[in-house]
Amino acid sequence: MTVMPSVVVLISGRGSNMVALLDAHLPLRILAVISNRSDAQGLEQARSRGIPAEVVDHRLYATREDFDGALQGCISRFQPDMVVLAGFMRILTPGFVRHYEGRLLNIHPSLLPAFPGLDTHRRALAEGVRVHGCTVHFVTPELDHGPIVAQAVVPVFPEDTEALLAHRVLSLEHVLYPQVLRWWAAGRLRLTPEGRVEVAGRPAWGPSGCYPGPEQ
C-alpha cells in the first residue's frame, strides 16, 4: 500500500490557509497543527477535525534559537515529509531553516520579491502598483526570498482599501496553496541545483490573469 506524503502545518492565528488545505482533500496526511500562540483560533479548527494541535509558546523562551529548538523538537515527534507555514508569524533562525532545507514551504501575501515582510497590502497601495497577489515559495534564511514555486495575481483598483485588497488576495491564497501542495504530493516539484523550482506539467496562464490556473 502506498503511503501518502505527510505535512505538519504551523500557524499563529485563525488558520484560514490551513482550513483551505483541509477543505481541498489533498492526497496527503496532515499529521499535526502547531502554533506559537495558545489562543490561535486555528487550533480549535484542527482539533474539531481530529488533527492533533500543539502549542510551543514563543514567550516561554529567552531566545529565538531556544524557541526554534523547541519547535523543531515538537515537529520531529511527527516526522513529516514537509513543514508548511500558513500564517506563522515568526522569523525562523537560519539553523532551523537549514534543518528543513527543501522541506519548508510558505505563502506570502505579495508578489515576491516585491514587498517582503509585513503590511504588504498597505505598501502596495502606497506604491500605486497595478497588480498585487501572493507567492508560494521554499523558505531560506533570507526573509521572504526563497525559491518561488507559484504566484497568483489580482488587479488593484483605484477604489481599493487595504481591507478590500487583503480580502481579494486571501481568496487567491486559498486556491494557490492547495494547488502547490497537490503538485508536491504528486512528486511534481523539483528544486534545481541553481535554486529554481521546476513543476512538471505546469499549466499556462489561467483565467482572470491568475497564474497558475485551477488544476486538479
Report CA-CA distances (Å) from 44 to 7, 57, 58, 134, 196. 18, 16, 19, 26, 36
Report CA-CA distances (Å) from 182 to 5, 178, 215. 10, 6, 9
* 121 classed as catalytic: no
Active-site entry in 58, 99, 108, 174: 108
d(CA 54, CA 153): 33
In order, the DSSP letters of 73-115 are: HHHHTT--SEEEESS---PPPHHHHHHTTTSEEEEESS-TTSS
Give the bridge partners for 16, in sequence order.
none
Q: Which residue has the cell 522541506?
A: 103
Of 154, 74, 80, residue with least CA distance to 110 = 154
Q: Which residues are catalytic?
A: 108
